Chains A and B, each alone.
Chain A
């Protein structure tokens, strides 16, 4: 057996994550962000390489950072983000393009990251919910609108909705309520808090227009 490839990762600096790490260490364990998902898979699943096929080791541009990562051929972007890069703000609700919780921007366009092979986004810019906040901690105008309007309930769908909205507003910065509803209709909320979500996202559009 060959040793698994070492992966360079960057720990997100979110306070809640730090506090969790502390908590777990206190409990006698440690957290690392190395590849959980497919750690042993290289040897187990016979992924040698046919000539001309893709290299597993790749560089991803995520939230403006270059991330080196070892990616299985069949690995989806959602899995890479969540299990290898520690970006767990992107949620998996259905894994089948049917709920939108995993929505991220690829070159500014909303996609279901559960249904994108990571190998197909090489050379593209991936933006997740973690990348919206400014370095100084200022929330993105759409995020701020959610806070202002108490958008969402359980919020498991929230990152997907926010990313869809941010993507849609790039193509239509001044939508009507109906246009926005259609623009973000590929996202499901089971709390069915759609009325308030739309109100919050309309405010987000307003915030964006004011900030620019």
Chain B
């Protein structure tokens, strides 16, 4: 490794395994998830869902239901607040569509909630739901993006069938290109809303020694967290207390306020434990608004537990992708050109950015010498899509990596080597060109980087969820003072794209650090790649072995969040955090940084979380792999602020300069002696001002300011916004290796061995990291192997509404021996602790490695869609040619 690679300092807590403070509560059943809360007089709500994929509700007659003893209230679309459209301006620049509301009056997918009943018990609510009479006016519908895009195909909404932000418009494939569709190919569309190009693509293909041109289909899949999204709501003194299942705590308040139609200050979100989310529980949802509105209407607490089938509809899903891609390779495997046309299926409402992210991810995986990207977000009458672990990133790896493997086999290049020769390094530029990125400004893995979608993908959906990730374009403003590494040249790669032209024109986004090549090397060693790859194609009886490599990448951290710490007069350190507790452990892992900086014993550190009335700091969403980056930074900043204050207090009290005092072991000590943290906290209260939180920096988020004000005077406060700045975009890579065994007489296959190596900077919690890497990997394997959505296109209804139909992976899908993992462990130079996020790329690499291993066993030309079920493999192997459903989605 090069000498300029940053070294990791010696930490006491960071990088060590520890017992998560919430683990005993979980393992004894004492941990309270949303559905575990009870309140006196609590009512139960149940939903009435639309049986039709698109209809106008002419009339709802709830009189028979309301007349039932025990039924307390009924809520319909007429009762729920309508999100405000931004006023004024140019009409063409305003959304032209109705955004999603809590209860629909024009349901746009089968399973969309249209009414809710609150009753004294669930049984009564369920009986009442059956007594509600609804008159529907059926409207045209379409559940397959390739059907609505055909000339004359039905539109899912009156306004059209695609997003051309800020509006929904009609878009049809030109008649001349219909032949492509009929032959199972996506045409290279021209007038797509997202279009950008870097480098000379035509020249790139001319220079190529080998060109692949494929059409690939990736299904939508439900998030399906174990905990369906229950919420319990009650109103107290004009405030809404919402006990909900959400990924983020701080970031849920605004959404609940919007859905319910009340100011943010009147919302208290309580969510101490959340049973998984994977992107589906980022924002707060209508399932929170409905009990809140029913509680308001009835004056009683209301709990709404939704069924697994309802979760399948309301719980959202990954964007399905149809892609045509042409890739040119040089003899050595280097990619000279990529030409992509990507169609994303977003469901009926918001413009989910996966389609665009597929393009930027391609650049972050392969740094192609040239690339042309065209993308379009299509609407269908299927449940709304939202970010699902590596939104767009997982699809990119799953769809592109098998082509890289195929090319390597064709060119006689090693699978690890072809990925290394194309791998980006620190400083490599990626994504759309600066002109296209301006305004949109999203990195790889973020929502649509789009030239013509510059006003932002979310327009038109004010009620919708926020973007998952919010990486900024390369920042020029706030330097960290750390050396920035120049964009070096990768052996075998020509410099790609021009550096910032003179005159200060914006530069294309670039990476703060990238060690994919190191990850591949480490993985190859750990997995014994050189030895194992000899087993490729080996057949014993009816079982054939395949070994594959796959890489995944995603944006890995936001910045500029807040940290809030308090040392109480008893000497205890409290970390007040707005991070949600969805299972990743980041709420605790990030808190460890504060204790580390202050050299404070973890056992005496109390993490305060899970209730916005408990004076918590503003937080990033727990999504997009942002948290570990954003909040190791924010807590570092707050801890540095506290350290400074400790030194100042000691200097004031004991004499000498603040700098002459050091902080360790619950004391601040120096020339004049020392103070315990407890004494310092008491001094801080005496001193007041900034020391006890009565004065705080103006750049803090309003939530943090409110929390600080409430805590002021209770101890020594450390509070700061992360102003460390950052040059470049933070991105993580994972390189995964899989061995698969296929029974060629049945099509069944299993994962024999798996190894994943992450370039995610400094490791905070090794066991937590391993869980992310392996859990993500197995989720990715599920995307490949069995997980699916199924729609009957004639009726527009979902068929795979239950686990035994939609098939998430099980414990028998993992290898028999322990799965391997490692981290590159090179700190990111642009963030104080050096940690980068990890959640997303793990799933992408897992899926990619599995599909590449599968192809290595059975051949490169059978699989062009997910999931690769035994039935598809059986049919193809038997026919000795690809047998699948072509472009049809959700089979």
Q: Do chains A and B touch in the complex (CB under 8 A)?
A: yes
Q: Is the CB of A188 within 8 A of B810?
A: yes
Q: Is the CB of A162 within 8 A of B27?
A: yes
Q: Is the CB of A92 within 8 A of B273?
A: no
Q: Is the CB of A156 within 8 A of B276?
A: yes
Interface stretch (choices A52-60, A82-90, A117-125, A167-175):
A82-90
Q: Is the CB of B226 within 8 A of A101?
A: yes
User: Once bound together, how far apart are the Cα atoms of A195 and B804, in whole Å?
Assistant: 22
User: Once bound together, how far apart are the Cα atoms of A31 and B243, in whole Å?
Assistant: 15
In the complex formed, the residue of A with least CB distance to B120 is A40
Question: Is A3 engaged at the interface, CB distance under 8 Å to the other chain?
Answer: no
Q: Is the CB of A91 within 8 A of B27?
A: no
Q: Is the CB of B124 within 8 A of A44?
A: yes
Q: Is the CB of B27 within 8 A of A184?
A: no
User: Once bound together, how far apart are the Cα atoms of A29 and B813, in whole Å?
Assistant: 47
Question: Is B26 engaged at the interface, CB distance under 8 Å to the other chain?
Answer: yes
Q: Say which residue of B35, B41, B802, B811 sits within 8 Å of A96 (CB atoms).
A: B802
Question: Is A69 engaged at the interface, CB distance under 8 Å to the other chain?
Answer: no
Q: Say which residue of A147, A153, A187, A196 sits within 8 Å of B276 (CB atoms).
A: A153
In the complex formed, the residue of B with least CB distance to A142 is B27
User: Once bound together, how far apart are the Cα atoms of A193 and B228, in whole Å?
Assistant: 18
Chain B residues whose CB sits within 8 angstroms of the CB of A199 once the complex forms: 818
By secondary structure, the B interface counts as: loop
Beta-carbon contacts of A177-188 to B below 8 Å, as 1s and 0s? 110011011011
Contact A193/B771 with A72-B123, A95-B307, A154-B225 known, Cβ cut-off 8 Å? yes
Q: Say which residue of B19, B236, B778, B817 sits within 8 Å of A147 (CB atoms).
A: B19
Closest chain A CB from B745 CB (angstroms): 23
Chain A residues whose CB sits within 8 angstroms of the CB of B225 once the complex forms: 154, 156, 190
Q: Is the CB of A17 within 8 A of B30?
A: yes
Q: Is the CB of A31 within 8 A of B38?
A: yes
Q: Say which residue of B28, B37, B120, B124 sits within 8 Å of A89 (CB atoms).
A: B28
Q: Is the CB of B32 within 8 A of A192?
A: no
Contact A192/B778 with A39-B120, A95-B308, A185-B811 known, Cβ cut-off 8 Å? yes
Interface stretch (choices B430-438, B579-587, B874-882):
B579-587
Contact A88/B36 with A27-B241, A36-B42 known, Cβ cut-off 8 Å? yes
Chain A residues whose CB sits within 8 angstroms of the CB of B38 once the complex forms: 31-33, 36, 86
Question: Is B224 engaged at the interface, CB distance under 8 Å to the other chain?
Answer: yes
Chain B residues whose CB sits within 8 angstroms of the CB of A41 once the complex forms: 121, 123-124
Question: Is B161 engaged at the interface, CB distance under 8 Å to the other chain?
Answer: no
Q: Is the CB of B27 within 8 A of A156?
A: no
Q: Is the CB of A14 within 8 A of B30?
A: yes
Q: Is the CB of B29 within 8 A of A88?
A: yes
Q: Is the CB of A195 within 8 A of B31?
A: no
| Residues from 126 to 160 in A contacting B, C-beta threshold 8 Å | 128-130, 132-133, 139, 143, 146-147, 149-150, 152-159
Q: Is the CB of B40 within 8 A of A139?
A: no
Chain A residues whose CB sits within 8 angstroms of the CB of B273 once the complex forms: 154-155
Q: Say which residue of B31, B39, B812 sits within 8 Å of A29 (CB atoms).
A: B39
Chain A residues whose CB sits within 8 angstroms of the CB of B31 once the complex forms: 16, 155
User: Once bound together, how far apart are the Cα atoms of A189 and B275, in whole Å?
Assistant: 10
Chain B residues whose CB sits within 8 angstroms of the CB of A130 once the complex forms: 28-29
Chain A residues whose CB sits within 8 angstroms of the CB of B730 once the complex forms: none
- Which of A31, A91, A94 is packed against the most chain B CB atoms within 10 Å? A94
Q: Is the CB of A99 within 8 A of B803?
A: yes
Closest chain B CB from A200 CB (angstroms): 10
In the complex formed, the residue of A with least CB distance to B585 is A153
Question: Is B504 engaged at the interface, CB distance under 8 Å to the other chain?
Answer: no
Question: Is A211 engaged at the interface, CB distance under 8 Å to the other chain?
Answer: no
Q: Say which residue of A44, A128, A132, A189 sits within 8 Å of B69 (CB atoms).
A: A44
| Residues from 791 to 846 in B contacting A, C-beta threshold 8 Å | 802-804, 808-814, 816-819
| Residues from 82 to 136 in B contacting A, C-beta threshold 8 Å | 120-124, 127
User: Once bound together, how far apart are the Cα atoms of A138 and B540, in whole Å?
Assistant: 50
Q: Is the CB of A190 within 8 A of B124?
A: no
Q: List 20 A-B pairs, Cβ < 8 Å.
A: A16-B25, A16-B31, A20-B32, A24-B39, A40-B124, A98-B802, A98-B804, A99-B803, A129-B28, A150-B19, A152-B26, A155-B31, A158-B26, A158-B27, A177-B817, A190-B278, A192-B778, A192-B808, A193-B771, A194-B814
Instruction: Other than A16-B25, A30-B39, A40-B120, give 4 A-B pairs with Cβ distance below 8 A.
Output: A41-B121, A156-B226, A195-B814, A197-B811
- Closest 7 pairs between A and B when the two form their complex, measured CB to CB: A89-B29, A154-B583, A156-B275, A153-B583, A192-B778, A88-B36, A129-B29
